[in-house]
Chain A
Amino acid sequence: MLNFRMIAQSAALTLGAALVSTAAIAYEGGAVAGGGSIKGTVKFKGEAPAQEVLDVNKDKKVCAVGEKKSNELVVGADGGIRYAVVSLTNISKGKAFPEGESILDQAGCEYLPYIVIVPTGSELVIKNSDGILHNIHTYSDKNKAVNRAQPKFKKKIKESFAEPEMVKVTCDVHGWMKGWLAVVDHPYYVITDEKGAFELTDVPAGEYEIKVWQEKLGESTQKVTVAGGAEAAVTFELAAK
């Protein structure tokens, strides 16, 4: 028979170990001298699927502004995948986080942008530009699940996340609304543009593991070597699962 106490204890131990290891590799940001950059694209392998058209069936006056399409898998004309998250997995020292706050806007019953990068512990500003009720409902493994209403009169609320992970955001009022928060513990994260292109700048010279994450296609990693003042090139190819 499973012993609840044992599970709780091992969970606490794992958590403790996780905390210790996170503390041990806490990222240190500062000025980077003589760094290089990584430039590349994320491409779709196979025949690109069409973007699904979303059914806007509620609050149409505000929400039905033009046709809404799912951003779950957006493949450009040349096979580049938009909204993939590219990051370095093994960096503990490098550039500082960019200035300014992270903002997630709910406008026209869509999340803008679709993926927001949120440094751990920092404040994410969540705006409601629509003047109707939305709610912020997050799904995550490591962070506490959030489900907060943002009625008309609340133009702005704030939320913060302690652990790095990809957090899904939905609105229970508008079933089609979906977005992502990339909660990150270092600044070497970038989201691909409509051509699937990305660039990581000010990377200290060295060897890295670089990872791409895409919500439908999963993850893939590569090794990359960055030389000072040079530009390293990386291409990812992701196929449908």
Chain B
Amino acid sequence: MSKADEEKKSYSSVFLLAVALLLATAIWIVWDDQISRRPWKKYQYEFSEMQIDRAKAEVTAEQKRLDDSSDYQTVVEELREARQGTEGGETGAAISELSSREAAARIVFDDADFDLRLVKSQIEEAWYEFEHAELMHVDTTGPKHHLEELEAKKVATEARVAEAQARLDQILNEKEEIFSVVETLEKQKKEMESGLGRLEQNVEGLVIPVGPFEFPKIPKIQQVVLNEFDRNAYNQPLARVDRCTSCHTGINKDGFEDAEHPFRTHPDRKLYLGTHSVEKFGCTPCHQGQGPAVNSPEQAHGWVKHWLDPMYQGDDVQAGCIGCHDNVRIEGAETIALGEKLFEQVGCVGCHLVDGYGDLPKIGPYLRRVSAKVDADWLVDWVKNPHEFRPRTKMPNFYFDQAEAEAIAGYILASSAKEGEEWLASHPAPGGIDSSDAALVAKGAELADSLGCRGCHGLAPGESPALLGDSKDIAPNLGNIAEKANQRWMYHWLKNPRGYSPEARMPSLRLSDDEAKALVSYLGTLGEPAGSDDAATRDRLLDADNVAEGEALVRKYGCAGCHNIPGMEAESRIGVELSVFGSKPLEELFFGKRTDIPHTWKDWTYNKINEPRIYETDRIEQVMPHFALSEEDIDAILVFLASRQEAKVPEAYKLADRQREQALVDGLRVIEHYNCVGCHVINDQGGAILARYEENPSLGPPILNGEGAKVQSDWFYSFLKQPVPLRPWLKIRMPTFGVSDDEARKIVEYFAALEGIDSPFVHIDQAALSPEYVEAGKLLASVDYFSCYTCHQQGERKPEGPEEGWAPDLAMASERLNPDWIVEWIKDPQALMPGSRMPAFYDFSDDSPDGPDDVLGGNDLEQVKALRDYLLTLGSMPVAAAPVVADPERVEPAAMDQGTDGTASSETSNAAAPETVQVEG
């Protein structure tokens, strides 16, 4: 091809193609940049329209309401009439007449006013003439006379002005009176329309008016920046950016609860967003996901490959709570709270270390003396599959075969033989236990019912008074206890649980020998007593090879994680640490040969707990046992495990009052360890046993809501260490738990923290109380007024009638009660303790006086304060001294309660117990 040809050739088609391509690409770029990767724009437009429609609908509705409102229509009509009236008719004529009179009066006034100003300037001139004459020493008579004339004229003119002013004012008043009707009506109308005005403003705030058109606001990325929330690989602080509200437009607005996603209002918005403002916390600290991503919902939610923190949905979000809250036993965090509780109490912590949960007490029974407790054949069956004997036990199933179970039972019996024998030697078989004596059994059953055993234990198969999640029992069900434990052991255990196991959670009920014998006789009827030849089985199990094999198994399966076993003191946890398990990448989870299980963290973990050996292969053995938990329980544990994250939330985002948080966590652990909530309602939780006292709640264990504000800490601490009966009418007995000093302190601080009390100490200066008030209080308490001692004790002064009719000892008030609480209590007992037998002497819901009018001027509040002051002067009873018990024989020598490990104090009211002075542990 020649050059000329080349020049002649047309490239227009190529050029056109290039232009077309360029244009298409340009359009594509714009479309992609502005539309396809900006789904949030569409959402914001949609939401804007929705909001505008709603706002307009509200305007229409309000307009309709006004139109339908007869009040409003009356005002409108009256206003119209009043206005019309001013324009014509009689009123109109009156107004025009007044107007012409006003004009005339104004002329008169102006004239007089002008004259007055004139005469004033003339006076100025006359003064000058007069003073000038004086200065020149000429005759001043003329000027003086002139001045006096003018002064007289001024007085007269002033009178004229005043008169004209008065006339004008009168006319103006008359006029205003006519118009004020209109003004009042206008004001009324405006007030009625104020709601409408506000709603119209709402609409205006949502649109951009352009000429006669209205447009929705132009969408833009919405974002929250959390400064220094994250850390990079070099531990340098990074800001976190959450753009979630770019699409989730209605998340923090009321009224979109039923809207489609992503417009919907946050569930429980007040609870969750009210306490965590979106501006401060954004979304991903709780929800995870990919905060800055806005290209697609999948990306934003982190539902893409290799994104490590996909968004939590539903209750899983609660995994985010624990990053900032040490204490998750709070409203809205129920699932993680359950997960944490299960993790602590089902026994997970026995094998798996988790930061912050490492030093919890072992949850399984003490096995150092177990040879003295159980039937050997029972033990083999139990080890083989505990769920068979007790379906809701916390003890998991290890899938042992018969030989393994026998080996383990052999080792358990052999290792505990020595300490078991020693214990038996000092705990002889008691006489007088007879499960065939119907009367004795009935007495035992009655005691089991009334003492409060059912706060923790089910006494029949299937009875579960103290639930741990929904598949486990906190304390063993005793419906078949006779099969398991011998009666000699039961007797000594009931009398003094810490005498057998220094770790016992079971408290001492301060039983008399006879009570314990009756109870054991009754327990002996629950289930078939062990019928096996115990001695023969033991001989077989104690074979040295069997025991050695058992020891290896006990080590391999980590039994010592939950149980105290002789010879296993140095064993460490056998499971993997789970402190950051929630951050574990999918690649590190071993699915074995399972292809049927979806490859997600959640599915892996759920199946692992539900069927612990599920990923086992020929080469990889797994030892985790089966806990038989319900789906809900496993889900709750998953939420807890998901919360175990590598990333730590910076201090600035955590709950400010760390000390209170710690007090709540520590205290609740102790409270749950001893299951105080089996009997007591604490912080609105627990107290299941109260269902048995519906007929008369005052016979049940006291409700402890608000206890931290009620009692003095010193007293509370001493009481926990050594309970004394406060309510002689109760059959249910506050047991002696033998809490350590540390545990008692944690409980006291927990109750104070619940009430938000920083320093829970109270000092009462009796000398500083007003004698007048003390006297008045004493008078009020007397038989002529409130007659308090008809029911209340005061030290040795006891009320008439049987104990069940008595009320607490008022002599203890100054030691025990917070003075401020006494006032609140007297003001309205039912408000503080619903169902209390204490009646209200006053009604502060109205102003009418209720107290006697001849005491302190009949002032109710002052009378209440006087009662308080009087109570504070009553004899103080040393708390740590001999407890008040109904049976004087059960009172211990005072020297007995000094055990600092909390063991001796559990014995204090039972001198007959053989191990009274024995200090365990």
Contacts and interface: CB of A to CB of B under 8 A. Distances in A.
Contacts of A1: 334-335, 338, 470, 632
A151 B837 contact: no
Interface stretch (A30-38, A79-87, A142-150, A224-232): A142-150
Nearest to B843: A148
Interface string B355-375: 000000000000000000000
A152 B790 contact: no
A147 B791 CA distance: 15
Contact of B839 (A57, A59, A60, A135): A135
A152 B790 CA distance: 12
Contacts of B791: 172-173
A1 B257 CA distance: 23
A141 to B, nearest CB: 11
B830 A132 contact: no
Nearest to A172: B837
Interface residues of A, number: 22
Contacts of B470: 1
Contacts of A132: 787, 790
B837 A152 contact: no
Contact of B787 (A137, A147, A151): A151
A136 B837 CA distance: 10
A58 interface: yes
User: Which of the four size classes fits the interface of chain B?
Assistant: 20 to 34
Interface stretch (B83-91, B228-236, B418-426, B801-809): B801-809
A60 B838 CA distance: 21
Interface in B850-904: 852
A151 B842 CA distance: 11
B114 interface: no
Contacts of A153: 784-785, 852
Q: Which of A57, A148, A173 has the most CB of B within 10 A?
A: A173
A175 B698 CA distance: 13
Contacts of A135: 839
A234 interface: no
A133 interface: yes
Contacts of B783: 152
Interface string A164-177: 00000000111100
Given A147-B829, A149-B840, A58 B852 contact: no
A137 B698 CA distance: 12
Contacts of A147: 829-830, 836-840
Interface string A129-140: 000110111000
Contacts of A173: 790-791, 805
Contacts of B799: 58
A145 B787 contact: no
Contacts of A57: 800-802, 805
Nearest to A154: B850
B835 interface: yes
B209 interface: no
A58 B803 CA distance: 11
B786 interface: yes
A58 B790 contact: yes
Nearest to A58: B801
A59 B835 contact: no
B590 interface: no
3 A-B pairs with the lowest CB-CB distances in the bound complex, closest first? A135-B839, A58-B801, A149-B839
Interface of B: 268, 334-335, 338, 470, 632, 698, 783-787, 790-791, 799-802, 804-805, 829-830, 834-841, 843, 852
Interface of A: 1, 5, 57-60, 132-133, 135-137, 145, 147-149, 151-153, 172-175
7 contacts: A1-B632, A59-B800, A133-B787, A149-B841, A151-B785, A153-B852, A175-B802
